[in-house]
């Protein structure tokens, strides 16, 4: 029954030659390697994003620390006028 269903599927999808076990295993290994490479790239991208978020937070913190200085200078200039 499974054999008939498989053969019907292959005929409907235009598969004329059934792949060998070795060919299927090679394809599985290729796909696994590609998946692992994708995960590696994804993890590296996550790490880079985290670094950039940290840099952004540090810059925002530095700018917030500088704001009172600018406010004091602005107020002093207004008082002098």
Is 72 among the domain residues? yes
- Is the residue at 48 inside a domain? yes
Task: Judge whether 4 lies within some domain.
Answer: no
Average pLDDT over residues 3-21: 84
Task: Decide if 45 is inside a domain.
Answer: yes
- On whether residue 1 sits in a domain, the answer given is no
Q: What is the pLDDT of residues 40-72, one digit of tens each?
A: 999 999 999 999 999 999 999 988 877 766 666
pTM reported for the whole predicted model? 0.52
Q: Which domain holds residue 26?
A: 10-80
In whole angstroms, give the CA distance from residue 41 to residue 35.
10
Q: In which band, very low, low, confident or very high, does the pLDDT at 7 lie, cut at 50, 70 and 90?
A: confident
Give how many domains the chain has, as a whole number: 1
Is the backbone of residue 18 left (phi > 0), alpha (psi -120 to 50) or beta?
beta
Say yes or no to pLDDT of 10 above 90. Answer: no
């Amino acid at each position: 029954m499974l054999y008939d269903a498989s053969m019907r599927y292959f005929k409907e999808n235009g598969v004329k030659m059934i792949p060998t076990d070795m060919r299927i295993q090679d394809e599985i290994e290729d796909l696994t390697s590609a998946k692992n490479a994708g995960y590696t790239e994804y993890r590296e991208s996550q790490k880079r994003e985290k670094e950039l978020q940290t840099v952004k937070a540090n810059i925002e913190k530095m700018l917030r620390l500088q704001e009172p200085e600018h406010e004091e200078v602005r107020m002093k200039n207004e008082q002098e006028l």
